[in-house]
A and B are shown apart, each in its own frame.
Chain A
Amino acid sequence: MKKKMDESQYKELLKESITNQWDKFEYFRNICKKKKRSIQDILKAIDDEEYYQIPSIMATAFKKSKGLFKELNDFSHPGKFQVSSSTSGDPSYIYTNQVELDKVADNYRLTFGIDGTSKAIGFAPSIRILDALSKKAGYMGYKSVARMQLALNGAKMHYNDLIFTLDVDIFRTLLSKVVNGKTVLKKKHLDEIIHIISAAERDHEKVNLGGFVLLFMPYLNQLKEAQFSFGDNAYFTFSGGGYSGAKGLIKGDKLNKPEMIKKIASVFGINKKLFSTNFKDLYGFTESPAINEGYWSEDIDDFLFESWHESRVFIVDPETEEPLKSGEGLLKFITPYSNGNTSAANVSVLQLDNATIREIKPNFIVSRFSHIKRFQNASIEGCAYKAEEIANA
């Protein structure tokens, strides 16, 4: 169960975190100066619950290509870099202290975990793979951990019986290492997946199928309509996006979400009434510890996300960064550190994802949002980086 954080607790923790961030990061002070905000202004805004006035750091500033590590991270405490999955080929690196790393994993435990469910199939790479990727991603002499690994660690805390569909083929890897040094992966066979699901169905056991849609869909596409009849015993919890057809190195077809939901329902025998409780998507990003849960809504034909209870979420104008009352804009998350001690300048983060406001509270605080999509920032096209768009436009 998520512990409720009341407004006064949130305020106190936010004040502590933002003051700490102000003291540590000149980058943040410079941003505030440009926006004509002093620390006193910010603390007053917090007192007045006008959190939107806190200037935010662009999530993309943490990308490796930006080279701002020293200005955005504080390495004075033990910790690790959280690393994103790098769909763009340019991962984000956020230095995170151990308390916060544990917090992120716990946030995933809370959001992946379904009460009364101990069995899950993770359509995802195994922890072994992610361990290896994390080790490889070490940077500037600091250890790294893939954000995806924190997610799986969180899921593992909840589920006694968690099976991953993608793992290292140890025998073939040993052979391959001799020849070309490469790792060979193996996917679980469809029959194995069917066997696990059938056993759960037979035993009337609750099961959660989740992970990456891009790894789930190839299995789903091979299953037949009405192959199972789970009623309310099957849950689906996706995470990490990938609806556009790409997630890190995982590639697939672009997905139509309503069609996917219909297909899952028909294969697993899930009643429409359960769509808003049993079909869930998690929205989070490496630059923030917030994990937002979205349940399928037939009314909007998309997942309807609840803002993370420990964050204040705003949807802002992409150019002015002013908060909006309705419509769509960029997502801004303000999330205090659980111990107030920041290891990166990421208390207030502006993510380059568009979303639509669905429910709003006073002072522009968005409590529900939907239709998350990557913000398309038209940039120059040339025979350098972006000529791809020209050649392929």
Chain B
Amino acid sequence: MKTEIEFHDPFFTSSHKEEKNGLKISYPIADERYIKEVTYQIRQNAEKYFSTHSVDDIRKVSDEVDSSFNDLTKPENVELIDLIQRSSGFSKYDIKNWGLGLFSSIDSYDPKIRGYYISKAIKEKGIIQTSSGYLKRFGYINPFNKWKEPTLLSHFISGNVVGYTAILSKIGLPVKIKGTAQILKLPSAASFFPMVYLQKLETIDPDLRKTIVCGYWKGGDDLIERPLIEESDAINILSSDQAIKDLLTRIEKYHRGITVLQHGHKIGIAYISREFINDPDRLEQTINGLVTDISAFDGGACYNVKNIYVQGDPRKFAEMLFSKLEHFEKNVSNVSNHTKSTGLSLYQIYSGSNEVISSDEKNVFVRVKENPEFWKPDELFRYVQVMRVNNENEVYGLIRNNKHYLQTAIIAVPDEKIVPLLLLFGKAGISNIHYPGSAPLINVYEEPHDGEFDAIRVRYNYSARFAATNFKFNKDWIEKEYVLEQI
């Protein structure tokens, strides 16, 4: 069993060490004295690399990196899951299914049609049928906006999940013409896998790795972030609203007009129609799916379901959901140790309440409310609110004024309502409409992230938003055998 791991960066050569669960990890840290010099260097490297390598060659390199994380039975990946678990505290189930699970859809996607549906959605106004669902643009394309390649793209990575945050560097790889130099700011939590991903890239193509610099610094450190903002043409921020606001203020001051992708605080919803409430088999499958959508990464991810709107008795639904959530926590995916204190604090507050279902285990909390609302949870945990609604239009009315927080909606509705809900919820601001049990599984080639196709958006301001479903019919998921076989 490994006890010591040192991550290196070609440019940030200082490091800081941390110890978690008997694992000593050394991460590169940024040095404010060299930021300008480093940006100059990676720009030079990117210019050279991207002018001498074809888009296809680079795609092959990137695919090779991605495919190395696909087979989770390989001993190195089994060990990797263990190491990520020890370093991040998240359950192995989450890391395996939702973290590294992302790579199976990336790896299996036909290279010939990558980008096809996205381009189509940008060009066409109607509903596009993708290979796994539907995609729709909301808003108009500004004909005056032109494609422009950035020369330096900076990412502020969040530490709430494993998986998606590691592949942010793919945004800077060439889409049509050329790639860009990139800076990645590591978060203080869950930094392990982004570094592993870059390490893998380095073994496959060290020159491509040299177009990227990655390290940690304290967020808000203006000595580092000012030169970084001044040098960047585009900035991709995955963080809290407050951190985004702070960065935007400084971007406005130091480099007004650059492209900024803002991925802030999101609150997921679910809508379960009466057809799924009244059919015991479908209800069970729906709840089994919701259990994973709620529990993934202990409720700290942007896609986790928090508000559940049901066309039926909310208490009955909540009791069933609670029982399955608790069973799942106990037998499949335990709450991580570092979030246990949140459970304790919620328990201390809600154990007296008749509106919140909890138990002495302190790991799951389900709130019941007759009068529906768009609920903003006070804590991020395996903690949701179930509410009664009359229909999807009532849900629309509740969510449409909270566009800022919208991203993922889980729906369990009859087939004929899937497309109408894409239109209705998409209009409200939802961007990813998934079937129960698939909230974390974003298909990067067919679905926007938080309404945006980041890799396009940093190059081309299409001035619109997108929404997609990850299924066309209920048979796409309802007949699937659940991974919850332990339940």
Contact = CB atoms under 8 A, between A and B. Distances in A.
A155 B354 CA distance: 40
A178 B267 CA distance: 38
B52 to A, nearest CB: 36
A57 B352 contact: yes
B158 to A, nearest CB: 4
Given A380-B342, A387-B265, A391-B220, A31 B352 contact: yes
Contact of B218 (A60, A61, A71, A392): A392
Given A26-B354, A27-B352, A379 B379 contact: yes
Contacts, number: 151
Interface in B370-391: 376, 378-381
B443 to A, nearest CB: 19
Contacts of A385: 240, 265, 379-380
Nearest to A68: B353
A317 B73 CA distance: 44
A361 interface: no
Contacts of A30: 351-354
B353 A392 contact: no
Contacts of A4: none
Interface string A83-106: 000000010000000000000000
A391 B187 CA distance: 6
A301 interface: no
Given A66-B378, A380-B381, A392-B218, A386 B355 contact: no
Contact-residue size bin, chain A (C-beta under 8 Å from the other chain):
35 or more
Given A66-B378, A71-B354, A384-B300, A390 B158 contact: yes
Q: Which of B264, B300, B301 has the most CB of A within 10 A?
A: B300
A31 B351 contact: yes
Nearest to A388: B240
A387 B354 contact: no
B344 interface: yes
Contact of B265 (A63, A381, A383): A383
A30 B352 CA distance: 5
B243 A350 contact: no
Contacts of B203: none
B353 A384 contact: no
Contact of B348 (A350, A380, A390, A393): A350
A238 interface: no
Contacts of B298: 380
B188 A71 contact: no
A390 B380 contact: no
B346 to A, nearest CB: 9
A131 interface: no
A67 B376 CA distance: 11
Contacts of A383: 158, 160-161, 238-240, 263-266, 300-302
Contacts of B380: 379-380, 382, 384-386
B1 interface: no
Interface string A352-393: 000000000000000000000000011111111111111111
B132 interface: no
A361 to B, nearest CB: 26
Given A377-B341, A383-B158, A390-B219, 5 more contacts: A26-B354, A31-B351, A63-B378, A378-B341, A384-B266
30 contacts: A26-B352, A27-B353, A28-B352, A31-B352, A60-B349, A65-B376, A65-B378, A66-B350, A68-B350, A68-B355, A71-B353, A377-B341, A379-B341, A379-B345, A379-B381, A380-B300, A380-B338, A382-B158, A382-B159, A383-B238, A383-B239, A384-B240, A384-B265, A384-B300, A385-B240, A387-B160, A388-B239, A388-B240, A390-B160, A391-B240
